[in-house]
Amino acid sequence: MSIYLDHAATSPLRQEALTALINQLKEVGNPSSLHTFGRDTRKALEEAREKIAKFVSAKPSEIIFTSSGTESNNLAIKGLFWKSNRKVIVVSAIEHHAVLDPAKWLAEKEGAEVIEIPVSHDGIIDIDFLSNLISKREAEIALISVMHSNNETGALQPISEVIKIAGEIPVHCDAVQSLGKVPLEFSGLTAMSINAHKLGGPIGIGALVLKRGIDIPALLHGGGQEREIRSGTLNAPLAAAFAAVLENYPSSKINDLKNRLISGINAGIKDCIINTNSNSLPGIVNVTIPGTTGETLLLLLDLEGIACSTGAACSAGVHRPSHVLMAMGRSDEIALSSIRFSIGPNNSETEIDKLLEVLPAVIEKARLAK
């Protein structure tokens, strides 16, 4: 029996996506071509664009297709910085590396100043900090980037408050984990990153939702597709598959499974600390199991057929303490002894119960192995 509990990394392709993908892959035509084939493919692409736009309450022209959430984040952070003559980039301390690293790169290479918004013990950004920062340095801030929900803890962030206090400062939101799972609106934002595969769509397609009238420099130059912001042949099959998975995500079922797991851990497993607060995504449970290391827990669970995740891994695959948990005030050691379970549409109560059943023995071994 194998149990997949790593949906926040990537979620199995849903049937709707597979059908849309295969149907469109059978068609020929570059969406930019002017003949019938091209127009037909373009039609499929634009229908997908319209669906995605409507789903996030944006205009179709505001959807710029990209290859991934990472590309969308890079495009937004670098683009909004380059467009501005201001030097300060404000990001939350718990952003994904696809936001943090472009910001740090701009600091190293182009003289940006990166200011991180601290977070509470629960992993929620400190709005007062941001508010004070804006009142002091408003004229210097090129952009603010705060994620919609955190990929490690699931914590939902107060985006509407960020938008309110940001005033005229462009706000980018990495909404990759939230799309389709919790209500999400583009309104008030300047840019928003989304992608397909966290939701059961294919890997290899994302979008940057970019407000009309905001033109940012491109990362990829070429055919001038996507408002000349993202050149490259438009990918109608992936776009169609993306659009096919937006609706009908079983969030409430997944939320019940999350609560089942959390109460199971709280009831049956001593000394564990749940790092996921109540205002969070339906599927993510981050838990600290003192006296263990995440890498050992992962290995032992994997050998039991249960897939979960530790924090971020470096390029060589070495487990590092999560910057998210560290920003939440946890020690190195606590951060290293944490794992994330992320639940998706195909999980069942039986699977959660199986996890709860094997956990005590796994934890015991992991403590010995430390």
The Cα 202–Cα 10 span in angstroms is: 9
Residue 299 interacting with another protein (CB under 8 A): yes
Q: Are 307 and 289 in contact (CB under 8 A)?
A: no
Among 53, 80, 234, 300, binds another protein (CB under 8 A): 300
First to last CA, the chain: 27
Shortest approach of another protein to residue 310 CB, angstroms? 11
d(CA 77, CA 145) in angstroms, rounded, equals: 8
Write the single-letter amino acid at 165: I
Among 239, 298, 334, 343, binds another protein (CB under 8 A): 298
Tell me how many degrees the CA angle 99-100-105 measures, rounded to the nearest 5.
105
Distances 23 to 53, 149, 225 between C-alpha atoms, Å: 22, 33, 23
- Contact range with another protein by CB under 8 A, out of 11-19, 29-37, 212-220, 299-307: 299-307
Nearer to another protein, 264 or 290 (CB): 290
Q: Which of 37, 319, 356, 358 binds another protein (CB under 8 A)?
A: 319
Q: Which residue has the tokens 């992608």?
A: 195
CB of 243 closer than 8 Å to CB of 53 = no
Residue that is written with structure tokens 């992320």 in the block: 342
User: Between 251 and 290, how does the x/- string for binding to another protein read (CB under 8 A)?
Assistant: ----------------------------------------
Of 173, 272, 308, 314, the catalytic one is: 314
**Choices 99-107, 190-198, 238-246, 294-302; region in contact with another protein by CB under 8 A:** 294-302
CB 292, min distance to another protein, A: 11
Stretch that binds another protein, among 100-108, 138-146, 180-188, 291-299 (CB under 8 A): 291-299
Query: Least separation, in Å, of the C-beta of 294 and another protein?
Result: 10
Q: Is 113 helix (H, G, I), strand (E, B) or coil?
A: strand
Q: Which is nearer to another protein, 27 or 333 (CB)?
A: 333
Report how far residue 288's alpha carbon sits from residue 363's, in angstroms, rounded to the nearest whole number.
Answer: 11
Between 267 and 318, whose beta carbon lies closer to another protein? 318
In angstroms, give the least distance from the CB of 290 to another protein.
Answer: 16
CA separation for the pair 317, 281 (Å, rounded): 27
With contact defined as beta carbons under 8 Å apart, do 335 and 325 qualify? yes
Active site residue 308: no
For the CB of residue 25, give the shortest distance to another protein in the complex, in Å: 28
How many residues bind to another protein according to rule CB under 8 A?
18
The one-letter amino acid at 102: P
Does the footprint of another protein cover residue 296 (CB under 8 A)? yes
How far is residue 231 CA from its own chain's centroid?
A: 23
Residues found near another protein in the complex (CB under 8 A): 295-296, 298-300, 302-303, 314-319, 365-366, 368-370
For the annotated catalytic residues, the residue numbers are 314
